[in-house]
Amino acid sequence: MRILLTYGLVGRGGDAVQVLEIAEAFRRLQHEIELIGPTQLRPYDFTSSAARWRGILRRLPWWGKDSIELGMNLYLFAKIQQTLRDKRFDLVLHRAGIYDFVGARLADAVGCPVAVFLDAPFALERAFRNEKYFAKLHRRCMRKLGEKAALMVTVSRAARDYYVHMGLSPEKTIVLPNGISQDLLQKGAQLAQEHPPFAHEPPFVVGFVGSLSRWHRVDLLLEALRELEGWRVQIVGYGEEYANLRAYAQKLKLEQCIEWLGALPHERAFEQIVRFDIAVLPHTLPTGAPMKLFEYAALARPTIVPDLPNLRELFTDKEMCFVEPENPKALAEAMLWLAQHPQEAVQLGWRAQVR
């Protein structure tokens, strides 16, 4: 098939990787893919001029950023229209944004089915940032999208419930969690055989990979470390909380044990996980399916996660170590238990990899 994959504004981390991996997955199935968005996808690019402009835009008030996003949607639709004058497609897959009118217009403009990918609900993300949004416009866009699209895909049952409650058809709205490419899974299996966790003497390494956003609550990991001694920490990623976290680590006198590795290219970030004895997701949105969990599992890392229903959909307590959310003491106790029971910890990681 000839597939048109379109996207609005997406983040520079996991969001960009997600879109590129979806495109690559279709190519591996021998489909022809054309990718169109308002800007080029550059995962983990924080140094180019485009990245600097994005950093400036992030400091605008919410209504300023959202107005720019609306303008970028108009620009995106104009780009798509130009492509549709010359080419025909068998399927359109559109990754929707918070005020997405592009998908509905596409459904009217193309002579083929339009499937829409809806990420975790935007309202919850805004709540974590204490940011407002144009709520009526968001609801109107989502409902229109639901009317026009042939299929709506989202990543968790909680996310599906959010959109169905908004008025989207439950028959057309399905759950398909995030995942990992076959290549990375095979590479992870090989690396895990060569570098199993706890294969060296202490100090052990606990690590996190991902955006340093508010909902990932890396501060909980820092507070847990205050309860322990003799650990090394590696933090891979960058984001809005980077400066605050560095300052907090200094306040807790933890800087000597932490390596801040910054934003690495996706493949290098994946390879860095094999250096961890324990991988941690301190917290997350209650509606997502974090890609990092699949990457931790692919590398057979014993992993500590908050006990949230959306994460229970993905793994069981025989595959990951679930702890009470937002409880740094519980996180510290789990780290200590895994270090004191390395055989059980290694088995936890292997079972997650099999999953």
pLDDT digits (tens, 9 = 90+) for 140-185: 999 999 999 999 999 999 999 999 999 999 999 999 998 888 889 9
- Angle value at C-alpha 77, between 72 and 80, nearest 5 degrees: 125
- Confirm if 84 and 111 have CB atoms less than 8 A apart: no
pTM score of the predicted model: 0.90
Q: What is the pLDDT of residues 33-44, one digit of tens each?
A: 999 998 888 776
Q: What is the pLDDT of residues 78-126, one digit of tens each?
A: 999 999 999 999 999 999 999 999 999 999 989 899 999 998 788 888 8
pLDDT band of residue 48 (cuts 50, 70, 90) is low
pLDDT band of residue 240 (cuts 50, 70, 90) is confident
Of the candidates 135, 202, 196, the one whose C-alpha atom is nearest the C-alpha of residue 166 is 135
pLDDT at position 339 is 96
Q: Give the residue carrying structure tokens 């217009």.
A: 105
Buried b (16+ CB within 10 A) or exposed e, 125-146: bbeeeeeebbeeebeebbebbb
Mean pLDDT for 212-220 is 94
Alpha carbons 63 and 134: distance in angstroms, whole number: 8
Dihedral sign for Cα 344, 347, 353, 355, please: negative
Residue 246 pLDDT exceeds 90: yes
Residue 207 pLDDT exceeds 60: yes
pLDDT band of residue 49 (cuts 50, 70, 90) is low
Residues 6+ apart with CB under 8 A from 90: 1, 2, 3, 112
Six-digit token pair at 161? 């419930």
Dihedral sign for Cα 26, 125, 80, 13, please: negative
